[in-house]
Chain A
């Protein structure tokens, strides 16, 4: 079993719709969770971090964390063509300092 799993996609949503990206992780001791966005040929860019159960909102983005189910999600409201990118889920476990374990990413396509 992979440590961090994501559906590779592509996930295709029309402009203006809500995009829902999901991520599961295997280490129950994981404490920090991050969503990064990566455009083709570019480096990952941080979108959201979340540390406790529940929802965290930042503009059009909402991260949701459920530690009991070992599940993290990212909702993108009012999706725009500029949101088309690969979204990487990253997890940092206990005692692992700054070692992020990444999922393979979900490719999102926002269509006109």
Chain B
């Protein structure tokens, strides 16, 4: 089975712009979770989508949003970028029943200038 894929792998944006990141889960997996990783805060949960519905949400401002399509692919969007949004954004997929293992994609590294 192919693993989790994320595009793009690298992005450079300027403050105030918006960005959209994409994630394709492992075939058959219906849950997609998004995480932000920074040196200062570590890995932090953004949100989780299951069957096109947001099932869980972390403590991030409303500038961070996401969606999931009927084929389980997911996108996350960050509007009005700030310097502090520079991070590695990781997508993880799992079958969708609760508590099971999540498998991470390679991540998108975002640099905000």
Contacts and interface: CB of A to CB of B under 8 A. Distances in A.
A82 interface: no
B99 A99 contact: no
B45 A43 contact: no
Interface residue tally on A, bucketed by range? 20 to 34
Contacts of B99: 31-32, 51, 92
Interface string B90-113: 101010001111111111000000
A100 B91 CA distance: 12
Interface string A44-73: 111001010000000000000000000000
A96 interface: yes
A46 B103 contact: yes
Interface in A54-112: 88, 90, 92, 96-105
A100 B48 CA distance: 10
**B interface: dominant SS:** strand
Interface string A1-45: 000000000000000000000000000000110101000001111
- Nearest 9 A-B pairs (CB), nearest first? A102-B43, A97-B56, A43-B104, A32-B99, A104-B42, A43-B107, A98-B48, A99-B45, A97-B55
15 contacts: A42-B106, A43-B106, A51-B99, A88-B43, A90-B43, A97-B50, A97-B98, A98-B31, A98-B33, A98-B56, A98-B102, A100-B33, A100-B92, A100-B102, A101-B45
Interface of A: 31-32, 34, 36, 42-46, 49, 51, 88, 90, 92, 96-105
Interface of B: 31, 33, 35, 42-45, 48, 50, 55-56, 58, 88, 90, 92, 94, 98-107
